[in-house]
A = this chain, B = another copy of it.
Amino acid sequence: MKNKTKRLTAIREIITSSVVGSQEELLQLLLEKGYELTQATLSRDLKQLKVAKTSNASGEYVYQLASLEKEREVRATVFTSGQVLQSVDFSGNIAVLHTRPGYASSLAYEIDENGKDVFIGTVAGDDTIIAIIRERVTHEEVMKNLSIFIPELTK
């Protein structure tokens, strides 16, 4: 059933981009997007997606993706947007990476996760990452490593 997959994606999009307080409300939004389903199905969908109902700072009830799921969404968005990493410079055993404003932390997180072989650690500001290169690792190796998980460098 191909429709279900698309519907689940639509549900994710809706609840990440707007405040939805009940299944009836969400159901309405889905209907407007052309998805025909009942509250029973929606309840099952939400369970499967691990959507949580909680309250926000304004004291309203809201549906939201479970924290882990949400992180993954955000990360995926950052990566696919394709303009995050803007430059890489070296000075001895230090690499300085410039990113779009605000993106340094999330990129540094990825580097921490995937670049342990070449870096011993990173510190991120707002648009700059200082990454300390492991001893005896060359700049070429660093670039190669970065290119693995950051498409922009392949160009």
Contact = CB atoms under 8 A, between A and B. Distances in A.
B132 A94 contact: yes
Interface stretch (A28-36, A115-123, A147-155): A115-123
* Chain A interface bracket (under 10, 10 to 19, 20 to 34, 35 or more): 35 or more
A96 B52 contact: no
B93 A92 contact: yes
Copies of this protein in the assembly total: 2
A120 B91 contact: yes
A121 to B, nearest CB: 3
B132 A121 contact: no
Interface of A: 47-48, 50-56, 59, 61, 64, 66-67, 70, 89-94, 96-98, 105, 108, 112, 120-126, 128-130, 132-135
5 contacts: A89-B121, A90-B135, A105-B126, A123-B124, A124-B126
